[in-house]
């Protein structure tokens, strides 16, 4: 495992080398196996992770007890349940590994220390949070304004690893369609690739 994922994740123009060195040193290597839970519903998040390799997802259980995928985490992304970690409340979401995962872990207390010590980390945090809010807003709007086929193609373009490794059922729930609809969309794309 290299520091490449940390470098990508903490790519912020105002960090000084010594600040990044301190931030990188505060992270611990952590390995998970396929099927391992990074966070379980009802538990409070006490750390966040930067995904070095692998694929993970977050999901909730709907009122009928069905799993609904809320997010896919790919390499160089932060795996976090923001509300639970920063509000110190039990998580409503589960985060689980779809494949074996290698991560860099930063615990809550260490993050708080660094956050108060390094002003640039606060600025990075604001920039990261703004981007996440924008992405979530964009996704919620696209659920209503784009066709299921277009949403699938966007996912394929942005996170191709999801299409490669995630089960059809998880992808379908993330896109807000049934397994059958997603199978049909995939078949249509194979037989009419230029149409879309």
- What is the dotted CATH code of the domain comprising 3-119? 2.60.120.10
Nearest to 102 by CA among 57, 45, 162, 56: 56
Per-residue confidence in pLDDT tens, the chain, 196 aa: 568 999 999 999 999 999 999 999 999 999 999 999 999 999 999 999 999 999 999 999 999 989 999 999 999 999 999 999 999 999 999 999 999 999 999 999 999 999 999 999 999 999 999 999 999 999 999 999 999 999 999 999 999 999 999 999 999 999 999 999 999 999 988 887 655 4
Domain ranges for the chain: 3-119
Nearest to 170 by CA among 100, 81, 94: 94
Please provide residue 29's backbone torsions phi and psi, each rounded to the nearest 5 degrees. Answer: -75, 140
What is the rounded CA–CA span in Å between residue 17 and residue 187? 50
Question: Are 96 and 56 spatial neighbours (Cβ–Cβ below 8 Å)?
Answer: yes
Burial class (CB in 10 A: 0-12, 13-18, 19+), 55: buried
Q: Is 189 left (phi over 0), alpha (psi -120 to 50) or beta?
A: alpha
């Amino acid at each position: 495992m290299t520091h490449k994922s940390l470098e990508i994740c903490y790519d912020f123009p105002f960090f000084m080398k010594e600040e990044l060195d301190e931030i990188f040193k505060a992270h611990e290597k952590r390995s998970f196996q396929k099927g391992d839970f990074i966070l379980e519903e009802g538990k409070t998040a006490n750390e966040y992770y930067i995904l070095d390799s692998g694929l993970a997802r977050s999901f909730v259980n709907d009122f009928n007890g069905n799993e609904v995928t809320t997010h896919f985490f790919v390499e160089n992304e932060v795996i976090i349940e923001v509300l639970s970690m920063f509000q110190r409340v039990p998580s409503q979401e589960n985060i689980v590994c779809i494949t074996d995962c290698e991560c860099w872990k930063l615990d809550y207390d260490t993050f708080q220390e660094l956050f108060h010590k390094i002003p640039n980390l606060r600025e990075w945090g604001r920039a990261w949070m703004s981007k996440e809010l924008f992405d979530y807003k964009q996704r919620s709007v696209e659920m209503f304004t784009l066709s299921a086929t277009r949403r699938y193609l966007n996912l394929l373009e942005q996170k191709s690893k999801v299409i490669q490794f995630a089960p059809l059922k998880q992808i379908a729930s993330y896109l807000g369609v049934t397994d059958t609809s997603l199978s049909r969309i995939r078949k249509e794309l194979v037989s009419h690739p230029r149409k879309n």
